[in-house]
Structure 1
C-alpha cells in the first residue's frame, strides 16, 4: 500500500490510524482520494470522508462524501454516491453496498449512458432508468433493475417490474437482443426477435424469429466463428408463405399465373482467411429456392439486387498480382414478363476466372515491361435473348479462353518539353467452346436480324452477316504505338495552368474473327466511349474483343489551380480510324460497338470539364457529340456541395437510343440527394430519381435522424416504382438506439437494407 497525506494520527487506545489532508491511497490497483481516511485495525475497515473518489482496476470511479470499505477494497457501504465506469456509463443512488468484491447493490438508483450536462448538471439526461434496486454483478457481468421505470427527457415512458441487461463492459453475452420492427408493402409489418448465444470466445449463434403480417413466420439462424487468420459465417433462413402469389409471378400469353410454392428458403455463407501476408482465400456463396428470396426478405449480407457468389484465391507481392475465382451470378428480380418460368436460370457460371499481372522491377531497354494473363471458363444453362430485340446477352454453351499479353513502353522528354512514349504490345488467345441447338438457333436469329437493320448513326447498314459457330479458335495481335504529349505551363501570381496537347497512333492488323457471331463476347459487353477512355490503347472493356486496325487519338488535357484553392480541369478530343477494319462497326452477340461513337471512321467528339472549390462545391459535365452535326449522343452532369451542416448532390444522365445494343428508346434520368443538420445532433435527408422518358419517379426517400453520444434515432420512408407498370413498393423504417441497452427498429442488422 502506498499512502500519501499531510498528517498521520495514531490513536493507540482506539487502535486506529487517521490520515488527514490530501489523502491518496494506492493498493492492489485501487486508488482512493479523500480529505480524511480513518483505518480501524480491529475491524480492518477504511472510513473515507470529504470529496471521496475511488477508482478500481477496471477504471470505474465512485464519488461520494463518505465511503466505508474493507482494507482490501472488496466490501463496503456508501451513502449518496455516483459512479462513472470506464465505458462512460453512470450510476447514482441514495446508498450502495458492495460485497465479495464484485456484487454492488444500489438502493433507489439511477442508470444512464448519457454524460451529465456541463452547463446544468441537474438537468435530466436524454434517457435514464430509475429503479428501486439495481444489482450490478461484476462476476456474471449483468445489471438487474427491479421496480424500474424508463424516462425520456425526464418524462416516464414505461414501467418495468424487472429486467436484466449485460454489463456495459460486456461485448458478448447469451440472451435476447432488442426486438425489431419494419414495414414493406409486399410483406406487411414485420417483427423480429433475435436471441444471441455466446457459445465460446471465438464462435456464437444468433437465432431470429420474424413474423410478417402478409407472409407469416420466417426463421433464420446465423453461425459465426473467428480464427487467428480469418473468420466465416453460415446463415440459414426459411418461410412457409401465407400468400405465395405475392412473392412473384409472370405474365404468360397475357395472363397472370400464380406460384403455388409456399416453402422457400436460402443458405448463405461468407469467409475470408489470410493464408500468409501475401495470400488470402475466401468465399461468398448463396443458394436459395427462388432467385429473389434473399432480396425480397432483406437477408443481411445477401440482399444485393445482383448477387455474386464466388470462391477466390488472391496473392499480392511487390509488383506481382494473382487472382483466381469461381463465380455465379444471380439477378434477384421479382418476376419476368413473357417467360414461362419466372425463376429460370439465365446467368452464367464462371469456373474459373484467373488474372495474373507482373511488372519487373528492373527497367527493360530503359522502359517498363508488363505481363498480363487472363483465363476464364463460362457455362450458361440456357439461351438469353429475344427475337424482338436482336441483342443476345449470352448463349447456351460452355466456352473457355486463355489470353496472354506483354506490353513495353518508355517515356522520353526532349529539351523542348515534348514527352515521347513508344509502346509495343503482343497478345495471344486460345479459345474453345461447346454449343447446343439452342445456342446455334440464337446465333442464326441474331445474324438474320442484323442483316437488314440500320446500325450506324450516319445511315449505313450491316452487310449480310454469316452465322458461324466456332468450337475452337486462336488469335494473335501485335500493335505498335506512339504517344506524344507536350505539357505547357502558364502561371501568374495567383494561378497556374497546364495545357497538354496529346496525340496517339496505334498500328495493328485487323481484329481476328471480327464480325463473327460464333465467338462469344462475355466480358466486353459494357462498352462506353467517353472522355475517360479516349486515350486507351484498347477501348473494349474486356478480353473477349480485341480492337484492330490503325487508329489515332487526338485531343488535349487541361488542369488549373488557383491561389484561393479552386481547381479546374478539362479534356477534349476525337478518335480516327485510319486503316483496316473498324472493330467497333463489326457485330458480335451483344453489338458492343453499336452507337458507341466509334463505329464510323471519324469518331464522335468527347469532352469533359469540371471544377472544385475548397468550400466543398464541385461540378463536372461530360458529353459525346456527333462528329458531323454535333448532336448530343450522351451526357452526364454532376454537381455537389458539402459543408459541415449541409450537403447536396445532383446527377443528370442522357443516353440516346441504341436499338441494336438492347435499348430502343432514349434514356434520361436525374437523381438528387440532400441532407442538412439543424444543429450538432439533428439531420434531415432525402433523395429521388426521376425517369423522364417513362415519366416515373423511380425511387424517392426522405428521413430524419438524431444522434449524440448516448442516443440515436432515425426515421425513413422510401418508395420504388416499376418503370413500365408503375407499381409502387413502399418501405418504412426506423431505428432507436440506446447506448449499452440496445437497438429497436428496422436497422440493417435485423431487416436488411433493400
Structure 2
C-alpha cells in the first residue's frame, strides 16, 4: 500500500494512522482519494471522508462523502454515493454495501445509462430505474432491481416488483429479452416474447413466442454457432392459423376455398466459412410450407420479397477469381401457382452456375491477357410468359394468347451452356498523347437443351405469335472472334483555378454475325435485362449476359470530359453514338424476349446517349443521363439524380422516364419522381419524409414521414408510410415505432401494417 497525504498522524495506542489533506492511497490497482482517511491497522478497515473518490482495478469510479471499506477494497459501506462504470452506466443510492469484492447492494438506488447533463447535473436523465434495492453481482454479471419503477423524462411509466438484466459489461447472458409488438389487419395484434440461451461462448439459442389475436401462436427458434473460421445459423418457425379466412380468398395465405391453410412453417439456414485466406464456402437456404409464409409473418432474415437460396464456393487470389454456386429464387407472393401473375413455379433451379477469371501477372506479347469461363445449368418446371397487358386474375393464362404474349422469359425443361473467352489488349501511347489500344478476342459456346415434345410445341406456338423462330436444339455450338481498335486522345487544359481533360474517343470492333439468334439455338436466360446508356457506350459487348453475343462490325464514337476546380468542385460528362457498319445487327434480331427491341441500338445508327454530373465539397451532387432518338432527338430514356448532404439537412431527388417498349413487355411509358429528405435539429432530433409520384397514372405510389430522437443512451423513432396500387389506387398503410434503451434493450416494431379502408 502506498499512502500519501499532507499530514500523517500515528496513534500507537489505538493502532491507527490518520491521513489529512490531499490523501491518496494506491493498493492492488485500486486508488482512493479523500480529504481525510483513518486506517485501523488492527481491523484492516479504512474510513474515508470528504470528497471521497475510489477507482477500483476495473476502472469503476465511486463517489461519496464517507466510505467505510476494507484495506483490500473488497468489502465496505457508504452513504450517499454515486458509481460510474467503464461502460458509462451510473448508479446512485442513499447507501450501499459491498461484500466479497463482487456483490454490491444499493439501498433506495437509481440506475441509468445516460450521462448527467453538464449544464444541469441535477436534472433527471432521459430514462432511469428507481428501486428500493439494486443488487449488482459482479460474479454472476447481473443487476437485479427489487420494488422498482421505470421513469422516462422524470415520469414513472412502469412498475416491476422484481426484474433482472445482465451486467453492463456482459455481451451475452441467458434471460428474457424485451417484448415486441406488431399489427396487421389479417393477423391481428401480435405480441412476442423472446428468451435467449447463452449456452456457451461459441453457440446460443433464441426462442420466441409470438401470439396474434386473429391467427394464434407463432413459435420461432434460432440456433447460432461461431467457429474460428466462420459461423452458421439455423432458424425454424411455425403456426397453426386459427382464422385463414381472414386473408383474401384465393390466396396462398388463405388456402383454396374449402381447404383453408392452417398449418404453415419454414426452416432456413445461413453459413459462411473461410477455408483459408483464398477460399470461402457458404450457404443461405430457405424451405417453407408455402411461398408466402416468411414474408407474411416477417421471419427475420427470410422476409424479402425475393429470397435467393444458394450454396457457394468462392476463391480470390490477386487478379484471379473462382465462383461456383447453386441457386434458387424464392418469390414470396400471395398468388397460387396457376394464377397468371404467380412467378414462383416459373423460377428455375440453377444447378449450378460457374465463373472463373484469370489474368496472368506477366504481360503476354506486351499486352494484358484476360481469360473468362462461364457455365450454367437451368431446370424450370413451368414456361415463363410475359403478358403484354394487365391480366384478369380470374383466368390462368395470358388473355388473347394469340396476340397478347410479349415474350417468353424462360422455357420449360433443362438447358445448359459453357462459355470460354480470351481477350488480349495493349495500350500504346503515340506522339502527341494519343492512346491506341488494339484488341483481339475469341469466344466459344457449347449448349444443350432437354425439352419435352409438349413444351417444344408450346414454345413453337409462342414463337409463331411473336414472329420469331424457335429451333431449340439438343446440342448447339457457336463461336465469336473479334478484332478491335480503340483510339483516345486526352487533352489537358489548365488555368490558375481549374484543370480540364477533354478526351475524344472512337472504337471499331470487327466480327462475324451472331449465329442463329433468331432460331433460338441457345435460350436467352441471362441477357434479358438490357439498357443502352452512356455507361455502356464503349463496351465491346453490350448485352448483359452470356446467352446473347453482339455480332457484326460496330463503331462507337464519343467524347469524355472531366474537370476539377480549386474550390473542390468536380465535373464530368460523356456523349456519343454507336453505328452498325457491317453485318447483321444483333440488337435488331428478335429472340423470345426481344432483348434488343427499343434499346436504341436496333437501328444501324443508334440513339444518342449522354451523361453530365458534378459534385461539390459541401455535399451537393447531381447527375443526369439520357438517351435521345437519333432521328428527331426525342427523349427515349432519362434519369436525374440530385443530392445534398450538408448537416443538418440531407436531400435526395430522383426522376426517371422510360418510353414505352411494347415488344419488351412494357406497353406504357414509365414516368416517376422521388423526393426524400431529413432535417436534424436540437442536436438529437430529426424528421424525415419521402414520396414517389407516378406521372403517368397521376398517383403517389408511396409516401412516408417520421421523426426520431437518438443520443448515447436512448433512441426513439416513429414512421408512417403508405403504398398505392398504380392502377386501382388501393392503399396500404404502415405505422412503425422503435424504442431503444442502452443496456436494457429494444422495444417496438418496424412493420405495423394494416390495410386502409
Q: Provide the C-alpha distance between the structure 2 equivalents of 1:675 and 1:591, rounded to a whole number of angstroms.
A: 42
The reply on whether 1:721 has 2:724 as its aligned counterpart is yes
Q: Provide the C-alpha distance between the structure 1 equivalents of 2:222 and 2:378, rounded to a whole number of angstroms.
A: 32
Residue 430 of structure 1 deviates from its aligned partner by: 1.1
Partner of 2:462: 446
Partner of 1:272: 272
Partner of 1:4: 4
Following superposition of structure 1 onto structure 2, how do residues 646-685 of structure 1 map, counting pairs within 5 Å? 646-685=649-688
Q: Provide the C-alpha distance between the structure 1 equivalents of 2:727 and 2:531, rounded to a whole number of angstroms.
A: 26
- Closer, same or farther in 2 for the Cα pair 1:240/1:285, shift >3 Å? same
Residue 729 of structure 1 deviates from its aligned partner by: 2.1
Aligned pairs, number:
735
Partner of 2:176: 176
Q: Provide the C-alpha distance between the structure 2 equivalents of 1:558 and 1:732, rounded to a whole number of angstroms.
A: 47
The reply on whether 1:593 has 2:592 as its aligned counterpart is no
Which of these residues, 478, 488, 491, is aligned with residue 488 of structure 1?
491
Residue 258 of structure 1 deviates from its aligned partner by: 7.5
TM-score (norm 1): 0.94
Residue 50 of structure 1 deviates from its aligned partner by: 2.3
DSSP 3-state at the match of 2:462: helix
Q: CA deviation digits over 1:270-292, x for unaligned, max 9?
A: 11111111111110001111212
The reply on whether 1:737 has 2:740 as its aligned counterpart is yes
Q: Provide the C-alpha distance between the structure 1 equivalents of 2:739 and 2:235, rounded to a whole number of angstroms.
A: 25
For structure 1, which segment, 373-382 or 343-352, has the greater mean C-alpha deviation from structure 2 after superposition?
A: 343-352
Residue 187 of structure 1 deviates from its aligned partner by: 3.0
DSSP 3-state at the match of 2:409: coil
Residue 343 of structure 1 deviates from its aligned partner by: 7.8
For structure 1, which segment, 148-157 or 643-652, has the greater mean C-alpha deviation from structure 2 after superposition?
A: 148-157
Contact 2:333 2:342 in 1 (8 A): no
Q: Provide the C-alpha distance between the structure 2 equivalents of 1:654 and 1:694, rounded to a whole number of angstroms.
A: 13
Residue 694 of structure 1 deviates from its aligned partner by: 2.9
Residue 686 of structure 1 deviates from its aligned partner by: 1.4
DSSP 3-state at the match of 1:493: coil
Following superposition of structure 1 onto structure 2, how do residues 310-349 of structure 1 map, counting pairs within 5 Å? 310-335=310-335, 339=339, 345-349=345-349
Partner of 1:99: 99
Partner of 2:644: 641
The reply on whether 1:559 has 2:562 as its aligned counterpart is yes
The reply on whether 1:419 has 2:435 as its aligned counterpart is yes
Partner of 2:584: 581
Partner of 2:121: 121
Q: Provide the C-alpha distance between the structure 1 equivalents of 2:246 and 2:348, rounded to a whole number of angstroms.
A: 27
**Whose RCO is larger (CA < 8 A, sep 6+)?**
1
For structure 1, which segment, 282-291 or 151-160, has the greater mean C-alpha deviation from structure 2 after superposition?
A: 151-160
Structure 1 unaligned segments of length 5 or more: list them. 452-464
- Closer, same or farther in 2 for the Cα pair 1:699/1:215, shift >3 Å? farther
Residue 379 of structure 1 deviates from its aligned partner by: 0.8
The reply on whether 1:37 has 2:37 as its aligned counterpart is yes
Residue 337 of structure 1 deviates from its aligned partner by: 9.5
TM-score (norm 2): 0.94
Partner of 1:289: 289
Following superposition of structure 1 onto structure 2, how do residues 116-195 of structure 1 map, counting pairs within 5 Å? 116-195=116-195
Partner of 1:46: 46
The reply on whether 1:536 has 2:539 as its aligned counterpart is yes
Q: Provide the C-alpha distance between the structure 2 equivalents of 1:446 and 1:76, rounded to a whole number of angstroms.
A: 88
DSSP 3-state at the match of 2:74: coil
Following superposition of structure 1 onto structure 2, how do residues 447-526 of structure 1 map, counting pairs within 5 Å? 447-451=463-467, 465-526=468-529
Q: Provide the C-alpha distance between the structure 2 equivalents of 1:361 and 1:56, rounded to a whole number of angstroms.
A: 58
Q: Provide the C-alpha distance between the structure 2 equivalents of 1:602 and 1:652, rounded to a whole number of angstroms.
A: 27
Contact 1:196 1:207 in 2 (8 A): yes
Residue 690 of structure 1 deviates from its aligned partner by: 2.0
Contact 2:83 2:92 in 1 (8 A): yes
Q: Provide the C-alpha distance between the structure 2 equivalents of 1:138 and 1:710, rounded to a whole number of angstroms.
A: 22
- Closer, same or farther in 2 for the Cα pair 1:344/1:406, shift >3 Å? closer
Residue 700 of structure 1 deviates from its aligned partner by: 1.6
Structure 2 unaligned segments of length 5 or more: list them. 386-397
Q: Provide the C-alpha distance between the structure 2 equivalents of 1:289 and 1:493, rounded to a whole number of angstroms.
A: 69
Partner of 2:705: 702
Q: Provide the C-alpha distance between the structure 2 equivalents of 1:53 and 1:112, rounded to a whole number of angstroms.
A: 20
- Closer, same or farther in 2 for the Cα pair 1:288/1:249, shift >3 Å? farther
- Closer, same or farther in 2 for the Cα pair 1:247/1:324, shift >3 Å? farther
